[in-house]
Chains A and B, each alone.
Chain A
Amino acid sequence: MIEEDRNFTAELAVIGTGLAGFAASIFALKRDIKTAQIGNTGAVAYTTGYLDLLGSLSPDYPSSIEDPWQGIEQLKDSHPGHPLCRIPKTDIFTAFEQFTSFLGECGITYTPPEKSNIRVLTPAGTLKPTLCVPSTMKVGSTAFSQKEPCVIIDFKGLKGFSSRQVVANLKDKWPKLSSRRVEFPDMASGEIYPEVMARSLEVPATREKLAKILVEAAEDAKIIGLPAILGMHTPDLVREKMEQLTGLQIFEIPTMPPSVPGIRLREMFEQLLPQKGVILIPQQKVDKLVFIEDGAQLSLSDSFGPITIHSKSVILATGRFLSGGLEASIDGVSEPLLNLPVTQPASRRKWYREKYTDYRGHSVNSAGIEVDSSFRPLDSRGQPYSKNLFAAGVILAHQDWIRGRCGAGVAIATAYKAVEEVEKLLT
């Protein structure tokens, strides 16, 4: 194989391919900004498909909140540094609208952002607050709130998803919920995997076989819940066909990550963003980022050789420890690409509370980089590292996306804001 140097130029380079990075590319597309995006897309597969804005006011209150918009107001009092407090709510709303409508145009319809959170099901049969859900999961939420008769179905050989578990944990709140186990068509023995099931349901013959099984399992119920397996590329279509074949209302519950709803998003982004003009370099890590006169130069390499990207601006959306945007060592937390200062607890002794599931969360989870009001990362003197550099997503300090149930909210809202600032810079 011949190695060749490849050079790209862009107006914006997005580093990171999690929700924040993809949201940034989508918002840049909307604004006709020529964008290159680089990063390992693995982390998106770990999302459940639920897009949370703000589900909890941890550490102040243990329980989940109904109205995330009101929640942001409360957050402004208690955590003014929280990234969600630094963006107008109307912009956050627009960001969610633009993001979800883009997903819909690409074949994965989402419910639009509303005034309040909805309660959605988890694979353990617990409930969580979220803002937007894939339309394949919507019915579960309404069926729960109406307490309608419903059968949760699981499959022999599919581990980690037990309909008996879902029902056991919900039966007090949802008396007409019951469980059934069935065999997936042509997968009667051994272990079976959600991804394989989802792909096989893209085939009409498999759908017909499964429909017969589901009708029998539903008995008198008109609504059934399945683990998320309704197709990989056309989930809305697969669900619609299954509903026609069965005459039932069908919804999905995400399985344990990496689950089908996350893989759907990843594959859709990887496929459609290049078609829409984004230079997407997935599965690669930026080795070097230097800022030069009026822009930046990114260096990386893949199996075909080195790649250089010249870009007028950069959005750093590299995530936290899981995605490599932050690194933890025995001595402290650092940001590996630019060695940006990381706001963090004074000592490792203070990283974690005694109890893991303490609803107040752990202080290391709020570590991250600082940005100015334009979301430009700050250097050790408290000055913007470069006028061409912006940051988005959970790499930002002063938020605990896990306890706050605000991962997608921070990602989408800050990506929107960062792209807006990029546009200002470019014009």
Chain B
Amino acid sequence: MTQKPKEQRIETEVLIIGAGVTGAGIMRDLALRGVQSLLIDRKDLCAGASGGNHGLLHSGSRYISSDLHSAIECREESTILKHVASQCIEETGGLFVAVEGDDPGFAENFAALCQPAGIACDQISCADAKKLEPLLSDRLFKAYRVPDATIDPFRLALLNVAHAQMLNNSSFRPHTEILLFTVKDGKIESATCRDNRTNTTLTIYAKQYINAGGAWAMNIAQLAGCKDVSLLYSKGTLLVSHDRLTTHVINRLRPPGDGDILVPGGTVSVLGTTSIRVDDLETVKPTVAEIDINVREGAAMIPTLAAARYIRAFSGVRPLLQSAGGSDDREATRGFALLDHSTQNLSNFSTITGGKLTTYRLMAEKTCDLVAERLNNSEPCQTHITPLPDEESCKWTEPGASPKYWYKANDPEDMILCECEMVPQSAIDEIVKDAPGAEKEMTLKAIALRSRAGKGPCQGSFCGIRIASYLYDQGHYHDTTGLIHMRDFFNERFKGTRTVTWGLQAAQMELAEALHCGLLGLDNINDD
């Protein structure tokens, strides 16, 4: 006699769908108000645009020509985040530079445009700009300094989740995908989900349901029968250089265009972005054409970008609010929208979408104000004044930090597994044990997301093998599924390298393929 597997049932006060920075921010904001929540994502933390962007904490100056409201929001929010989430931020400062061929009128007007937004913008001489950033083009004709900064979205999301988990019994479930909502009497009664790793279904019962799906928010809203979320998708592609090329964020001083921002991030720089309208969210990946455009445009500001060594490329999708209109997606509003879906006859469902990394906290605040009110909770938002506490297991995403921890601990038994980024065994132990979303048989991809492993020049080709070996050794992997985790990890990293494999990276790729396929035979394993 076969028994029907018992359906898994979970109860929570609030269900948050989508674990980008906004979902993570909502989870913490609610926890600070004393509200318990469950955060789910069909993949993992920052799997969408939150993990696919420049890591730029905008001063707002980027938007002054197209969207004053967003510019002001960015100015306010970046100032708040520099205070409450300083561990995730590097105050690099930013430069806006115009090179020959750019519109002199736009360049001339820039400081005046920044003024109404309250953004500190100082013109500096081209000679001074070159002193600050020696790699800038000799063809510069105008330069301004602005308070741009950089932010690590992975650490930010991890810390938000970790803090929420610490505050109350809020929790995070990765690889949990929403399949359908059961609606009854103007309310969502339950959400049926699938665990994408075990392929089992579970039903989640909540008082309030928040759709923080980012680019997927329209699809999720439609599952609840809501037709009031209308998004356009704008794909952006970025490249990561092997070296950090500048100390400041470098912006091209012209209306937003391709390849016009170079953002330092720890030990690397990130160049981007392109902007292409797409219809399909699932097949988004960098193309050779986008890479070539970014390199060509970027080289106008920083000529060495033409010959730089790139280690990776990635794409993200900006969810744009359809009401924006206009032909250029960059001209569309970068503001966000909070929908309470009351017009769709639902009283316990809300959607937050649009916006950008810099305004994630504000987006979370507005959402939580609505949800708290619906729950008759009158606690005010605290995220603008309560610093984000640090947490041990979340510290491994910081570039250049692993070696420091390792030297400090000075434990000769704690071997380095990722030699590019100096990630030791102890980091893997800590992540597998305590990091938000940790589980028993954690994939290499999930570990890499919570650390610097695989982010260096070898892009995981060596450390993927070493970490897998270590996980086998520690009993986390115990059969050939470990090989599949390895293969999947290398396939995932390849998505980032396939369009930028030239120069030294071609040698790296040949060695990697010789190891992974020629020796280990990962091109020839069966999934079952």
Q: Do A and B come from one complex?
A: yes
Q: How far is the CB of B508 from chain A (nearest CB, A)?
A: 8
* Contact string against B for A residues 311-352, beta-carbon threshold 8 Å, 1 for contact and 0 otherwise: 000000000111010011110000000000000000111011
A122 at the interface (CB under 8 A from B): yes
Note all chain A residues with C-beta closer than 8 A to B475: 164
A357 touches B491 (CB 8 A): yes
Question: Is A7 an interface residue when CB atoms closer than 8 A count as contact?
Answer: no
Query: Do A165 and B501 touch (CB < 8 A)?
Result: no
Q: Quick check: which of B140-148, B386-394, B411-419 contacts chain A, the rest being far away?
A: B411-419
Q: List 16 A-B contacts (CB under 8 A).
A: A63-B524, A124-B465, A124-B468, A126-B522, A157-B415, A159-B469, A164-B473, A165-B482, A168-B482, A321-B507, A324-B507, A327-B503, A327-B506, A348-B502, A357-B523, A359-B523
Question: When the two chains form their complex, are residues A190 and B412 in contact, meaning their CB atoms are under 8 A apart?
Answer: yes
Chain B minimum-CB-distance residue to A348: B288
Contact residue among A190, A320, A322, A357 (Cβ-Cβ distance under 8 Å from B487): A357
Give the CA-CA distance A56 to B493 in the complex, in Å.
Answer: 25
Q: Which of B478-501 contact A (CB under 8 A)?
A: 478-480, 482-483, 486-487, 490-491, 493-494, 498-499, 501
Q: How far is the CB of B8 from chain A (nearest CB, A)?
A: 29
**Which residue of the partner chain B has the closest CB to A352?**
B498
Distance (Å) between the CB of A151 and the closest chain B CB?
16
Residue of B nearest to A320 (CB): B510
Does A407 sit at the interface, judged by CB under 8 A? yes
Q: Is A256 within 8 A of B483, CB to CB?
A: no
**How many Å lie between the Cα of A320 and that of B518 in the bound state?**
15
Contact present for B287 and A157 (CB under 8 Å): no
Q: Contact residues of B with A, CB < 8 Å?
A: 287-289, 292, 295, 412-413, 415, 417, 462, 465-466, 468-470, 472-473, 475, 477-480, 482-483, 486-487, 490-491, 493-494, 498-499, 501-503, 506-507, 509-511, 513-525
B472→A402 contact, CB < 8 A: no
CA distance A354 to B490 in the complex (A): 12
A358 to B472, CA, bound (A): 25
Whole-angstrom distance between the Cβ of A161 and the nearest chain B Cβ: 7
The residue of chain A having its C-beta at the shortest distance from the C-beta of B296 within the complex is: A330
Q: How many residues of A contact B (CB 8 A)?
A: 57
CB contacts (< 8 Å) of B491 on chain A: these are 355-357
Cβ of A306 under 8 Å from chain B? no
Cβ contact within 8 Å between A403 and B523 = yes
A128 interface residue per 8 A CB criterion: yes
Residues of B within 8 A of A172 (CB): 479-480
Measured CB to CB, the closest approach of chain B to A257, in angstroms, equals 7
Which of B417, B477, B503 touches A168 (beta carbons < 8 Å)? Answer: B477
Please state if B519 and A165 are interface contacts (CB–CB under 8 Å): no
Is A162 a contact of B518 with CB atoms below 8 Å?
Answer: no
A41 at the binding interface (Cβ < 8 Å): no
Complex CA gap A379/B486 in Å reads 42
Known interface pairs A358-B523, A407-B514; 12 further A-B residue pairs with C-beta atoms within 8 A, sorted by A's residue number: A126-B521, A126-B522, A128-B520, A164-B472, A165-B469, A191-B415, A257-B511, A320-B510, A328-B501, A356-B516, A357-B517, A361-B523
Q: Is A48 an interface residue (CB 8 A)?
A: yes
Cα A48 to Cα B518 with chains together (Å):
10
Chain B residues, Cβ within 8 Å of A275: none
Q: How far is it, in angstroms, between the C-alpha of A347 and the C-alpha of B470 when the chains are bound?
A: 40
Contact A191 B523 (CB under 8 A): no
Inter-subunit contact B514/A256 (CB<8 Å): no
**A46: CB under 8 A from chain B?**
yes
Instruction: List B contacts of A136 (CB < 8 A).
Output: none
In this assembly, does A90 line the interface, its C-beta being within 8 Å of a C-beta of chain B?
A: no
Closest residue to A63 on the B side, CB-wise? B524
Interface flags, A183-196, vs B, CB<8A=1, else 0? 00000011100000
Asked whether, in the complex, the Cβ of B502 is within 8 Å of the Cβ of A189, the reply is no
**CB of A64 within 8 Å of the partner chain:** yes
Contact check, B525 vs A349: say whether CB atoms are below 8 A apart: no
**Contacting residue for A330 out of B295, B514, B516, CB 8 A:** B295
Given contacts A330-B292, A357-B487, contact A64 B469 (CB under 8 A): no
User: Is B289 in contact with A162, judged by CB distance below 8 angstroms?
Assistant: no
Whether A160 and B466, one on each chain, are in contact in the complex, defined by CB atoms closer than 8 angstroms, is yes
Q: When the two chains form their complex, are residues A402 and B470 in contact, meaning their CB atoms are under 8 A apart?
A: no
Could you tell me the distance in whole angstroms from the C-beta of B366 to the nearest C-beta in chain A?
A: 39
Given the known interface contacts A122-B521, A127-B521, A349-B288, the answer about A160 and B469 at a Cβ–Cβ threshold of 8 Å is yes
Residues on A with C-beta less than 8 A from B295 are 330
Cβ-defined contact, B513 with A169, below 8 A: no
A247 within 8 A of B: no
Residues in B whose Cβ lies below 8 Å from that of A355: 491, 494
Report yes or no: B519 in contact with A122, Cβ–Cβ below 8 A: yes
Beta-carbon contact of A321 and B518 below 8 Å? no
Q: Does A376 contact B (CB under 8 A)?
A: no
A168-B477, A190-B413 known; A403 vs B520 contact (CB < 8 Å) = no
Choice from B465, B511, B522 contacting A160 with Cβ under 8 Å: B465
Q: Considering the chains assembled together, what is the distance between the CA atoms of A354 and B475 in angstroms?
A: 32
Name the A residues within 8 Å of B473 (CB-CB): 162, 164-165
CA distance A58 to B413 in the complex (A): 42
A407: which B residues are within 8 A, CB to CB?
Answer: 514, 518
Q: Which residues of B have CB within 8 Å of A161?
A: 469
Contact of B468 among A48, A56, A165, A327 (CB under 8 A): A165
- How far, in whole Å, are A362 and B287 apart by their CA atoms in the complex? 16
Cβ-defined contact, B482 with A169, below 8 A: yes
Chain B residues, Cβ within 8 Å of A327: 503, 506
Could you mark each residue 343-385 of chain A with 1 if its beta carbon is under 8 Å from any beta carbon of chain B, else 0? 0000111011011111101100100000000000000000000
**Are A128 and B510 closer than 8 Å at their CB atoms?**
no
Tell me if B466 and A159 are in contact (CB < 8 A): yes
B287 / chain A contacts, CB cutoff of 8 Å: 349
Q: Quick check: A189 and B412 within 8 Å, CB to CB? A: yes
Q: Given the complex of chains A and B, what is the CA–CA distance between A228 and B424 in angstroms?
A: 24
Asked if A405 is at the interface of the complex by the 8 Å CB criterion, the answer is yes
**Distance in angstroms between the alpha carbons of A349 and B501 in the assembled complex:** 11
The 8 A CB mask of A118-144 against B (1 = contact, 0 = none) is: 000011101110000000000000000
Cβ 8 A contact of B524, one of A124, A168, A254, A359: A359
In the assembly, what is the distance between CA of A190 and CA of B412, in Å? 5
Judge whether A256 and B515 touch: CB under 8 Å: yes
Contact pick for A321, options B486, B509, B522, CB 8 Å: B509
Compute how far the CA of A172 lies from the CA of B292 in the bound complex, rounded to whole angstroms: 48
Q: Which of A48, A56, A62, A347 contacts B519 (CB 8 A)?
A: A48
- Give A171's nearest chain B residue, CB to CB: B479
Chain A to chain B: the 9 pairs with minimum beta-carbon distance, closest first: A356-B494, A165-B472, A190-B412, A328-B506, A321-B506, A162-B473, A328-B502, A357-B523, A352-B498
B511 near A46 (CB under 8 angstroms)? yes
A16 to chain B, nearest CB (A): 15
The answer to whether B503 touches A329, judged by C-beta atoms less than 8 angstroms apart, is: yes
CB neighbours (8 Å) of B510 from chain A are 320-322, 402
Asked if B472 contacts A168 (CB within 8 A), the reply is yes
Query: In the complex, A277 Cα to B479 Cα: how many Å?
Result: 51
> Which of A48, A56, A157, A162 makes the CB contact (< 8 A) with B470?
A162
B417 and A402 contacting across the interface, CB-CB below 8 Å: no
